[in-house]
Amino acid sequence: MPSPAFRRAAPALLASLSLGLMACAPATQPQASAPQPTAPAPAPVAPPTAPTFVPVQPLGAGRVTGFASAAQVTDPARTYQAVLNTSKGPITLELYARQAPVAVNNFVFLALNRFYDGTRFHRVIEGFMAQGGDPQSTDPALRARWGTGGPGYSFRAEVGNGLRFDRAGVLGMARAASLDSQGSQFFITLAPADFLSGGYTVFGQVVSGLDTLQRLTRTATPNGEVPIPGAEPDLIQSVQILVSR
């Protein structure tokens, strides 16, 4: 017969035993479920195909430097490039036919008439820009007048397209004080020149040959634009126009 002490301790022993059994009991296993079908991975999206460019044939066999106006030769729905073949190497420009249709058409029209062949980058300033497109710059005897020539007509700047001179390699139209004085001369920035944004037409960007651009001979100093003695401006030997298929 259990002693009175055992009877008094029994409830506590039973409780501790129950707790021990509960601790030793196997954990309840989660109910197995059937595997869920996985959704097929989305098909990879192919990157947009780069346009294929073909040369545009010149409008004539000889160089023409005087016109009453620029004929319409471009389609703003197509993409254009221009390859400047210079004495330092080629520089390829993308032309913004949608954002600056008048300037791009003008440049393409003149290039297809060989207007720029043999002209020079007559004004190149370190840290600023390289300017060319004056038909008079083919003639060293007219050097005092370089920078004043044009195609025989002028047209208005396109400054509301939101494009900016915010990096090196931006192609812009040169002009005199009036917004209506654009003609044939252009410039390409050698460094950001955002102070020109909104006042001069942006109509393209260098896409190849930025190193060539940076090698062009500097013709004047940045401070005061003093001519650099002995500097010989680089030639634009020819300009080839390319158009997307």
Reduce the DSSP state of residue 175 to 3 states and report it. coil
CA–chain centroid gap for 119, Å, is: 25
Query: What pLDDT is recorded for position 39?
Result: 64
What is the dihedral sign for C-alpha 207, 212, 216, 221? positive
What angle (nearest 5°) sits at the alpha carbon of residue 51, between those of residues 50 and 55?
A: 140
Query: What pLDDT is recorded for position 49?
Result: 74
Kindly report, residue by residue over 130-156, the tens digit of the pLDDT.
999 999 999 999 999 999 999 999 999
**Minimal CA–CA distance to 106: which of 141, 156, 71, 149?**
71
Query: What pLDDT is recorded for position 76?
Result: 85
CB of 168 within 8 A of CB of 155? Answer: no
| Percent of the chain surpassing pLDDT 70 | 82
Task: Name the average pLDDT for the chain.
Answer: 88
CB of 241 within 8 A of CB of 106? Answer: no
Phi-psi region of 15 (alpha: psi -120 to 50; beta: other; left: phi over 0): alpha
CB of 120 within 8 A of CB of 133? Answer: no
Number of H helices, E strands in the chain: 3, 10
The answer to whether residue 14 scores a pLDDT higher than 60 is: no
Of residues 70 and 18, the one with the higher pLDDT is: 70
Question: What is the pTM (predicted TM-score) of this model?
Answer: 0.80
Work out the pLDDT band at 98, boundaries 50, 70, 90: very high
Mean pLDDT, rounded, for 182-206: 98
Mean pLDDT, rounded, for 2-25: 40
Q: Which domains does the chain have, with CATH numbers?
A: 80-244 (2.40.100.10)
Average the pLDDT over each of 49-53, 61-65, 225-229 and give the range with the smallest value: 49-53
Query: What pLDDT is recorded for position 156?
Result: 98
Nearest-angstrom CA–CA distance, 200 and 68: 23
The answer to whether residue 184 scores a pLDDT higher than 90 is: yes
